[in-house]
Amino acid sequence: MTLKLEKRANYTPPKGPVVLIIMDGVGIGKYTEGDFVRAAWKPNLDWLMANCPHTTLKAHGRAVGMPTDEDMGNSEIGHNAIGCGRVYDQGASLVAKAVTSGSLFAGATWRNMIANVKEHNSTLHFIGLFSDGNVHAHIDHLKGMLGQAKQEGVKRARIHPLLDGRDVPPTSALDYIIPFEEFLAGLNADGTVDYAIASGGGRMKVTMDRYEADWRIVERGWKTHVLGQGTLYPSAQAAIEALRRENPGILDQDLPPFVIGKDGQPIGPIEDNDSVILYNFRGDRAIELTRAFEEDDFAHFDRQRRPKVLFAGMMQYDGDANIPKSFLVEPPRITRTMGEYLADTGVRQLAISETQKFGHVTYFFNGNRAEKFSEELEDYVEVPSDRVPFEQRPWMKAAEITDNVIEAMNSGKYRFIRVNFANGDMVGHTGVFPAVQIAVETVDLCLGRLIPAAQAAGAILVISADHGNSDDMYEHAKDGSVIKDKATGRPKARTAHSLNPVPAIIYDPSNAAGVKLTDKKGLGISSLAATCLNLIGYQTPEGYDPSLLEIGS
């Protein structure tokens, strides 16, 4: 299918490019206390808000395709919405509907997984994020599958939970583990099945790496879940309690791996003829483990042994690369993205970020497509991320990214540039307050460099975010008061994304576009696509969500 954009009438595009700046995790906070965007020294962002057309956009809930408005947004669905210009039902919604309706269990993949373990009297394994944050996975999906597996006669199941602490409170693991153990006890009560937790660990320590930033994380997961190697504990609760004693102040996401054992042996290593379900629905942190199971030619670490199993993901994490080969729920099929339109119209564009968000400004922005639409017209720049904890280097690679963007603006090669600064999100997840403030101030410093560069190049900057995070760093009670840590008396850290709106600012130093914002209410970040297209000089494509501009629809 060939797509062509229609030019705006009576409009002269800017001399330079339109630059979309996504300040990841920088929202507009509801509370003063714990809002480290508000607390940060950010003269450039403050100046932009005081002197440029601006508004706020929704970046969570139904505005980005989540089931309810109580669901936070995230970088994956945020970049989907921004890049495709409209809202699709996302993984959380699609999987919840598939489990509730039973369509997941009627599918060929589920039937094959169940038939395999029944034929070989083998084990059904579930690996995934142990959370109800609804960003990568949801524990209710796991429970639904376990209940169905029992109904269908699966005798033995092993669960390998990855502890969250990012999309849920940072030390809440036992709030999920203890009730889940009770749930398993209920399934096991009649003696017909043997379902148990077999291994686990914190999501940032075990299994859930992304963009090949650190394969050592996946290797730890392989040794833990597949090989059953590691320190043995009698239960997941005992493991978490022991690891916390050994590592005072550690957050759930950073807990070391653990293996559950009995009589000196692990209770659930993955063996030949087992079935394995990776029940995360979000792709970025699921792809590498999938590759470890599926690839014959695999050189990222020594797998020691590779069991012959049936493997499936909750969804297909990369449709272009066919990863995984088998999956339980069809992902959203996203077409007519902004990048596709621009490529088909002959517009040269650049995407740039550091490793931590590189896939977001490429794969997710392009509607879950790994390959470029045009090798000739698209350039992707990945600045390699440092392999250190984010709180130890909260400036991350923002300066190097800015260097590249300024060079690109000055080159005259591009009409559209999209860039992600990951600091506000990745450092926000650490819960280390001084580092979070530095992260926000780092992004502001970069804005201070991009403003004069835009003036010199005749560019227009569109500045927004994919969701909030650094704007809501304290846990708050329903009455708005700050919840204090009983041990320290200090505010309890909130490491999850916020439900707050995000800013949308248009900086047009030469007034090339004569920007006037629409008075439409309730718009979401999906409106950024039409806005950028209008500023470049094109009409809003049919079916796109409205532009922020009063003109150019």
Catalytic site positions: 75
CA distance 219 to 255: 15
Backbone torsion region of residue 266, taken as left when φ is above 0, otherwise alpha when ψ lies between -120 and 50, otherwise beta: beta
Q: Are 323 and 317 in contact (CB under 8 A)?
A: yes
Nearest C-alpha neighbor of 54 from the set 505, 463, 462, 464: 505
CA distance 11 to 536: 10
CA distance 201 to 253: 8
Number of Cβ within a 10 Å radius of residue 410: 13
Phi first, then psi, for residue 6 (nearest 5°) are -90, 135
Instruction: Please measure the distance between the N-terminal and C-terminal CA atoms of the chain and give it in whole angstroms.
Output: 23
451 Cβ contact list (under 8 Å, min separation 6): 44, 48, 461, 507, 509
CA distance 36 to 549: 30
Q: Which residues, listed in sequence order, are joined to residue 129 by a DSSP beta bridge?
A: 162
CA distance 98 to 282: 15
Cis previous bond, 324, omega within 30: yes
CA distance 64 to 529: 14
Instruction: Give the helix/strand (H/E) hosting 37.
Output: helix 36-39
Number of Cβ within a 10 Å radius of residue 379: 16
**Angle in degrees, 0-180, between the axes of helices 139-151 and 173-188, rounded to the nearest 10:** 10
Task: Find the Cα–Cα–Cα–Cα dihedral 304, 310, 313, 314, rounded to 10°.
Answer: -140
